[in-house]
Amino acid sequence: MYFVDRSVAVIKPKAPFLAWLNAVPDNDMIELSLDALRADCTVILLPEFDEPEEAISHIDEMYDKLFRIELSSWYEDEALWPQDRSLKAFWEWFDVEVHSTLLDTVDADIMNSPVDVDED
């Protein structure tokens, strides 16, 4: 087991995200509950930080990409996305849990690949 020189953040959808999902036209999904939506969330690696506020500032800098990732994981058609994707809207739509300790329990190299989300 190894300490990793990163922090983590868990991006958890809130009620406005759920309302958007359930209001998408021609939505053929079963109606989700907020608990179900928050049960399996996106986790991102962050730089190590001394204060939680530093992690929040880092998220503020990349909120647009995170917002896009969350929306595109449900619908790739940007015409279905909400018009207001401001920083304020991000924090209204998502809770963010920040954790300062990350342990790697796998004795193998981490494989990664870039996330492809178009930016305006």
In tens, the pLDDT along 23-65 reads 888 777 777 889 999 999 999 999 999 888 999 999 999 999 9
Q: Let me know if residue 46 belongs to a domain.
A: yes
The top-scoring range by mean pLDDT among 8-12, 31-35, 115-119 is: 8-12
- What pTM, to 2 d.p., does this model score? 0.86
Query: Which residues are CB-neighbours of 65 under 8 A, at least 6 positions away?
Result: 115, 117, 119
Q: Let me know if residue 54 belongs to a domain.
A: yes
Residues 87 and 7: beta-carbon distance below 8 Å: no
- Residue 120's pLDDT is 55
- Looking at the structure of the chain, the number of domains it has is 1
Q: Let me know if residue 110 belongs to a domain.
A: no
Q: Let me know if residue 112 belongs to a domain.
A: no
Q: Let me know if residue 109 belongs to a domain.
A: no
- Domain residues for the domain of 40 are 2-104
Q: 26 in the Ramachandran plot: left (φ > 0), alpha (ψ -120 to 50) or beta?
A: left
Q: Let me know if residue 117 belongs to a domain.
A: no
Residue 101 has pLDDT above 80, yes or no: yes
Q: Let me know if residue 73 belongs to a domain.
A: yes
Instruction: State percent of the chain over pLDDT 70.
Output: 97
Q: Let me know if residue 66 belongs to a domain.
A: yes
